[in-house]
Structures are given as structure tokens and as C-alpha cells.
């Protein structure tokens, strides 16, 4: 950098003076390199190298010539010097060359063992760090090979950003098969009263025809098959659907009061209280408290009391759908509510009582182990 | 380039009449926008042109760049 500094050019301006030529001659004799020397009416202008300034100053004093120095390239930040140009070129070339290589491979997987396995597989595929991006095999091929070797994966996400490669594995969903309890074969019995609508059986023999009413405890499906004189215990499996009525009763206050979220309040610079305390008693504790309060942020949630007066419309539009939802949530996935009927509603001063009847269809069968004797 | 090169005396080299190089010990007698006078080795060199600028000057060499050269005179000082 020293050579660069010293090779900067400085413009010197001299006003017309008798001693101009002898001054220039003296500069020449002191080995000051003069560049672009020209004269006009306003005086003489020339350039020198920065390193010669001390010499020029010394000679100027001797000849008593006023001289004005200025840097012609003062405003330009970058000097067109070979080292500057080489540096600039380096700033462009080095990142460009670096961007041609793969610098980082990251693997995201739930299990560490599989992560190591995937690393090894990538190594085998020659997908390694500090390798030219052009020579890498395409992503689809990487995915194909990894998926072929790992049957427990459903997909491989390969994300490339610049010189980084991020691989995320997606495990295949675990399929849970129903555990058939073969050790204890059982019959299917009715858990409640109802009219049988349909069967959904995997094993066992129907005992009750469709559209027949059953009572609680009746055997619906037997797990014993008769083969000639022989009894074969297979166990009954499946569901038996029946229509049945379910009664729900409710009791509500006629006026419901609840908290309603209105807003959130953020308080900052709550200094007035600590300031008053400090003014009252000037202690260190109060001073610290005051400073603390400057940086304290208080958050308050504002609630509003809201009330609803229960009327028949509200019961019909808001309450009954909620009750229906709650009742439906107790059903199995194939069960459904076929109909609903409000049996009665009694209004008193502060409460309302009611009964709702639901006509539902759901599995009513439960298992009862077959007693095989000894 | 050799054809264009004209060496008039041991200390004057003319490359292309736009750049005149002077070697050896010399003294700058005068310089103005249109003319330049140098003295050295018993000779006096006068250059007159549309624009005369000393492009470089150091202890043993001066290069004068000229535009529209009108006069180039080299005189032996004894004859003055």
C-alpha cells in the first residue's frame, strides 16, 4: 500500500513568478519527476508524485514561490492501480469459483442411525462435500437410489440453496392393523335396547334378523360355528348397528354472564408512581425502582363482562346445535343422529329445564367371552 | 516505428512530431501554451505549436507533447 500511496499524483499550481523556471530547474536537479507541465496566463500547472512533496516544499521555501497542491483523484474512492484492480477482480472471481462447489450437506432425519446410513449412501453415490456441482448426479437419481434402499421412507426432499444441499427424509406412515384377540373368542351381545338395522361382521354368525328389537344383554352374533355335530369356536368380530332413542336433559340459568376478550393493553414508561414515591422518600431503592420502571413493559388483557338472556330462540339456534354436537361426539365413526325432538322445556324465574330425545343409529354390540368349559 | 524515429542531435529524439524527447542536461528557458525553449549541450531548441505541454520532465530527459507543430528550431548557441 505504501507504493500505492507514494505513486498518487498531486497537482501543483504556481502563479506567474520570476523564479518559475529556476524553481522547475531546481526540482529537476533534485530528481523530482514532473508530469504534464503547462503554462498559461494564470500561471504554471504540473503534477508530481506524492512522495516528492517534501522535496518540493523544501525547494519552494528556498525560492519563496507560493504553490497550491491538490489531488486530482481525491474524489474517486478506487484508484486504478493494478493491485486495486486485482483485488476487485478477486472479489468477483473468488466467490464465483467457490459457488461452483458443494460445500455443505445436511441431512435431517428422525433417527440418528438412518441419518448415518443416508450419509453413507450419499458417499457411495459420490455426493460429497467440496465436489464440483456440475459433476454431481441429478437430484432425481439420488432420490431414486435412496428410496430404493430405504423402504421405510416415503419421500426424500432435496433442497439446494447455492452451495448447500439439505436432505430431509419423510418416513412412511406406520400402518396399525387391528389386533385380533384370538386368545379369547367371544360372542357379540347387545349393550342397549334397539332395533337392528345392519351388520358389519368379520366373523361369527348372526342370530337376530334385521328390524328386530333386541334387549340389553341379548346375544346378537355367536362365535361358535356348528359343523355337523362339531362346535367350532371362531369368535365373533365386527359391529352390529341398531336404531335407538337417547334422552338428554339440561338445566340452564336464564341469564348467562361470561368474560369477553376486548383488547390487550401494553403499558410502557410507567414512571409516575415510582417518581412520586422517590419524591416522597429519596432512597436508593426508590431510585432503582424508578430506573427499572423505565424499561418495564406491562401487558394487561382487558375483559368485559357480557351477559346473555336465554330465550327460546337462543336455545334453538345456539344451545341445541351445541348439545347435538356433544351427543354426536360420543358416537362411533359410523354412528349418526337420525333425528332429534325437544320433549319439553320448563321456564322458571332463573332457570330453564328441558329434555331432548335423540334418535340415533350406532354400534350396540359388545364382546362377551365364550365360556368353553374345561 | 524505427522509420518514424528521427534523431536530430545526440539529445533530441522525435518519435512522431507529437512527442519530442530531449536527453541530457538541459535548461528550461521558457514555456508558454504555444511555445517551449530548452538549452543544453551548447544548443538551443525552440518548439512552437498550437499547444505545447511538457508531458514529463526529470533530471536527464524531457518529453514535450505538441499539437499542430509550426516551428522546430535547433540552433547552436555560438551562432547567436
Distance CA A48, CA A70 (A): 11
Are A138 and A17 contained in the same domain?
A: no
Contact A162, A205 (CB under 8 A): no
Are A55 and A121 contained in the same domain?
A: no
Chain A: residue whose CA lies nearest to B39: A25
The residue with greater pLDDT, A188 or B12, is A188
Chain B interface includes A28 (CB < 8 A): yes
Chain A interface includes B6 (CB < 8 A): no
Q: Could you tell me the three cell numbers for A283?
A: 432512597
Domain boundary among A48, A70, A92: A70
SS3 (DSSP) at B9: strand
Q: How many residues does chain A have?
A: 374
Contact A358, A340 (CB under 8 A): yes
Q: What is the pLDDT of residue B16?
A: 80
Domain ranges (residues) in chain B:
6-79
Angle of helix A112-124 relative to helix A139-149, nearest 10 degrees, comes to 130
Instruction: Measure B46 CA to nearest chain A CA, in Å.
Output: 16
Is A25 in Cβ contact with B31 (below 8 Å)?
Answer: no
| A59-67 contacts at long range (C-beta below 8 A, 24 or more positions apart) | A59/A23, A59/A26, A59/A27, A59/A30, A59/A32, A60/A23, A62/A26, A63/A19, A63/A22, A63/A23, A63/A26, A64/A19, A65/A14, A65/A17, A65/A19, A65/A20, A65/A23, A66/A14, A66/A15, A66/A17, A67/A12, A67/A13, A67/A14
Chain A interface includes B18 (CB < 8 A): no
* Residues whose CB is less than 8 angstroms from the CB of residue A262 and which lie 6 or more positions away in sequence, other chains included: A302, A303, A304
pLDDT of residue B3 exceeding 70, the answer is no
Query: Looking at beta carbons, which residues of chain B come within 8 Å of A35?
Result: 55-57
Q: How many domains does chain A have?
A: 4
At A41-73, the pLDDT tens digits run 888 999 999 888 999 999 999 888 899 988 876
% of chain A exceeding 70 in pLDDT: 93
Is B59 in Cβ contact with A37 (below 8 Å)?
Answer: no
Are A228 and A322 contained in the same domain?
A: yes
Contact A65, A4 (CB under 8 A): no
pLDDT of residue A168 exceeding 50, the answer is yes
DSSP letters along A92-114, please? HHHHHHHTTEE-EEEEE-S-HHH
Q: What is the pLDDT of residue A73?
A: 60
Are A302 and A314 contained in the same domain?
A: no
Distance CA A283, CA A276 (A): 12
Contact A137, A160 (CB under 8 A): no
Is B54 in Cβ contact with A34 (below 8 Å)?
Answer: yes
Helix (H) / strand (E) containing A13: strand A9-14
% of chain A exceeding 90 in pLDDT: 19
Chain B interface includes A3 (CB < 8 A): no
- Cell numbers 505538441 correspond to B66
SS3 (DSSP) at A348: coil
Chain A interface includes B19 (CB < 8 A): no
Are A300 and A317 contained in the same domain?
A: no
Query: Looking at beta carbons, which residues of chain A come within 8 Å of B29?
Result: 21
CA distances to A104, A107, A119 from A168, in Å: 14, 6, 12
pLDDT of residue B58 exceeding 80, the answer is yes
Nearest to A355 by CA among A339, A341, A372, A369: A341
> Quick one: pLDDT band at residue B43, thresholds 50, 70, 90?
confident
Dihedral Cα A369, A236, A239, A247, nearest 10 deg: -30
Query: Looking at beta carbons, which residues of chain B come within 8 Å of A38?
Result: 31, 33, 52-54
pLDDT of residue B1 exceeding 50, the answer is no
Query: Containing domain of residue A367, as a range?
Result: 181-254+310-374
Chain A interface includes B29 (CB < 8 A): yes
Mean pLDDT over A117-142 rounds to 88
Are A194 and A314 contained in the same domain?
A: yes
Is A46 in Cβ contact with B28 (below 8 Å)?
Answer: no
Compute how many other C-beta atoms are within 10 angstroms of the C-beta atom of residue A49. 16
Distance CA B22, CA A126 (A): 69
Residue A237 falls inside a structural domain = yes
SS3 (DSSP) at A149: helix
Are A200 and A291 contained in the same domain?
A: no
Are A132 and A22 contained in the same domain?
A: no
Residue A53 falls inside a structural domain = yes
Residue A82 falls inside a structural domain = no
pLDDT of residue A309 exceeding 90, the answer is no
Q: What is the pLDDT of residue A245?
A: 92
Chain B interface includes A91 (CB < 8 A): no
- Cell numbers 348397528 correspond to A241
CA A43 to chain centre: 73
Domain boundary among A117, A140, A171: A171
Chain A: residue whose CA lies nearest to B30: A21
> Quick one: pLDDT band at residue B2, thresholds 50, 70, 90?
very low
At A1-31, the pLDDT tens digits run 445 455 788 899 998 888 888 898 899 889 8
Are A212 and A326 contained in the same domain?
A: yes
Domain boundary among A70, A92, A116: A70
Compute how many other C-beta atoms are within 10 angstroms of the C-beta atom of residue B11. 21
Chain B interface includes A21 (CB < 8 A): yes
DSSP letters along A206-268, please? E-S-TT-EE-TT-EEEESEEEETTEEEE---EEEEEEEEEEEEEEEEESEEEEEEEEEEEEEE
Chain B interface includes A40 (CB < 8 A): yes
Amino acid at each position: 500500500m505504501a507504493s500505492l500511496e507514494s505513486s498518487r499524483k498531486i497537482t501543483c499550481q504556481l502563479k506567474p513568478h520570476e523564479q518559475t523556471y529556476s524553481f522547475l530547474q531546481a526540482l529537476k536537479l533534485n530528481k523530482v519527476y514532473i508530469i504534464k507541465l503547462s503554462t498559461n496566463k494564470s500561471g504554471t500547472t504540473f503534477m508530481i508524485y506524492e512522495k516528492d512533496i517534501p522535496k518540493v516544499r523544501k525547494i519552494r521555501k528556498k525560492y519563496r514561490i507560493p504553490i497550491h497542491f491538490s489531488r486530482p483523484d481525491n474524489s474517486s474512492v478506487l484508484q486504478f492501480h493494478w493491485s486495486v484492480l486485482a483485488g476487485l477482480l478477486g472479489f468477483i472471481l473468488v466467490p464465483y469459483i467457490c459457488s461452483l462447489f458443494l460445500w455443505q450437506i445436511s441431512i435431517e432425519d428422525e433417527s440418528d442411525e438412518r441419518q448415518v446410513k443416508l450419509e453413507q449412501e450419499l458417499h457411495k453415490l459420490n455426493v460429497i462435500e467440496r465436489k464440483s456441482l456440475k459433476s454431481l448426479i441429478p437430484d432425481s437419481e439420488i432420490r431414486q437410489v435412496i428410496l430404493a434402499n430405504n423402504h421405510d421412507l416415503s419421500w426424500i426432499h432435496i433442497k439446494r440453496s447455492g452451495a448447500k444441499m439439505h436432505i430431509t427424509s419423510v418416513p412412511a406412515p406406520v400402518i396399525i392393523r387391528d389386533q385380533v384377540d384370538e386368545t379369547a373368542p367371544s360372542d357379540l351381545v347387545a349393550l342397549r335396547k334397539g332395533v337392528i338395522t345392519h351388520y358389519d361382521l368379520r366373523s361369527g354368525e348372526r342370530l337376530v334378523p334385521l328390524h328386530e328389537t333386541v334387549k340389553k344383554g341379548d346375544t346378537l352374533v355367536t362365535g361358535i360355528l356348528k359343523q355337523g355335530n362339531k362346535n367350532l369356536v371362531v369368535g365373533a368380530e365386527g359391529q352390529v348397528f341398531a336404531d335407538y332413542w337417547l334422552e338428554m336433559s339440561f338445566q340452564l340459568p336464564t341469564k348467562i354472564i361470561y368474560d369477553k376478550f376486548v383488547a390487550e393493553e401494553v403499558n410502557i414508561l410507567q414512571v409516575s408512581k415510582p417518581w412520586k414515591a422517590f419524591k416522597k422518600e429519596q432512597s436508593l431503592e426508590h431510585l432503582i425502582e424508578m430506573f427499572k420502571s423505565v424499561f418495564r413493559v406491562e401487558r394487561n388483557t382487558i375483559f368485559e363482562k357480557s351477559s346473555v338472556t336465554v330465550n327460546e330462540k337462543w336455545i334453538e339456534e345456539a344451545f341445541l346445535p351445541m348439545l347435538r354436537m356433544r351427543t354426536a361426539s360420543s358416537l362411533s365413526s359410523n354412528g349418526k343422529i337420525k333425528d332429534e325432538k325437544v320433549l319439553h322445556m320448563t321456564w322458571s324465574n332463573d332457570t330453564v329445564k328441558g329434555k331432548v330425545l335423540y334418535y340415533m343409529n350406532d354400534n350396540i354390540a359388545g364382546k362377551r367371552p365364550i365360556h368353553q368349559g374345561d | 516505428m524505427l522509420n518514424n524515429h528521427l534523431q536530430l542531435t545526440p539529445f533530441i529524439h522525435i518519435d512522431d512530431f507529437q512527442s519530442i524527447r530531449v536527453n541530457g542536461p538541459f535548461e528550461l528557458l521558457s514555456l508558454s501554451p504555444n511555445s517551449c525553449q530548452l538549452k543544453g549541450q551548447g544548443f538551443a531548441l525552440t518548439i512552437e505549436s498550437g499547444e505545447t505541454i511538457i508531458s514529463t520532465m526529470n533530471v536527464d530527459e524531457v518529453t514535450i507533447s505538441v499539437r499542430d507543430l509550426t516551428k522546430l528550431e535547433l540552433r547552436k548557441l555560438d551562432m547567436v
